[in-house]
Structure 1
């Protein structure tokens, strides 16, 4: 049922205004351990440098954890037009930080392309099938990033 609801246009209109605000509050109150959206999908709190402002920008995001200690972030923007701002931030400033299950991890983001992107996209669709609906609504190719830990 959650997958069906998250694929609707109504969810795409409402969720971007409600879910991040709830996630930020719960994240702060739980000392960085929890996100409301984590009830549906694993999630991270991404802190990246703003592409234009140069200021730290924090955004809660669903993620696809991978074996080996990497994470894939999917720039679906809930199936709305336009790439989400955090993807431009990572393109401009790939060194970032995530809060993952109460731990802060310094990461470097890399935009996935070609065969590597196709493999990650296939895995993402198995992981959360509504991503296919999001992609069908937009003409842009949804950006995927792989985050790998780094020493600060």
Structure 2
């Protein structure tokens, strides 16, 4: 996806499908563990919804700021850094969370586990010179 309007339309369709099918979607995300993350825009102050893959590792919910291996962080990373309080929808359950960006050592320990669960995340890291951040989502 090359432009922002294309990405917004793509994400809006995933959000609609997610909500219509109790958290299940088809296409490229079929069988993936997805959640909807609602953040507060760092600049706009508006609510922003992002469909994201998530990983349950050691009883924790983790999300990766991969941006498909792009050279910039996805907008939701900037939003969580500015305001870590957010809201998630997992399946038919919704709750508030506090996001904690993992420090380097913890991130470096857990990222290989993320890549083991979903090998495309190893490809994403290999495509970019930036370190893909991991966030833990803890119930508020």
What's the TM-score bracket when you normalise by the shorter of the two chains? Answer: 0.7 to 0.9
2:48 corresponds in structure 1 to: 57
1:41 corresponds in structure 2 to: 32
Where does 1:2-81 land on structure 2 (aligned, <5 Å)? 17=7, 19-30=10-21, 33-36=23-26, 38-68=29-59, 70-81=60-71
1:70-109: CA deviations, max 9, x gaps?
3110111011121000000000010101001110021110
| Alignment partners' CA distance in 2, 1:25 and 1:51 | 24
- For normalisation by structure 1, the TM-score amounts to 0.80
Aligned length: 136
2:134 corresponds in structure 1 to: 144
Structure 2: stretches of 5+ with no match in the other structure: none
* Cα deviation, residue 21, structure 1: 3.4
Matched, 1:89 2:79: yes
| Alignment partners' CA distance in 1, 2:101 and 2:18 | 26
| Alignment partners' CA distance in 2, 1:141 and 1:43 | 22
> Is residue 64–residue 72 contact of structure 1 (8 Å, CA) maintained in 2?
yes
| Alignment partners' CA distance in 2, 1:112 and 1:84 | 16
Aligned-CA RMSD value = 2.1
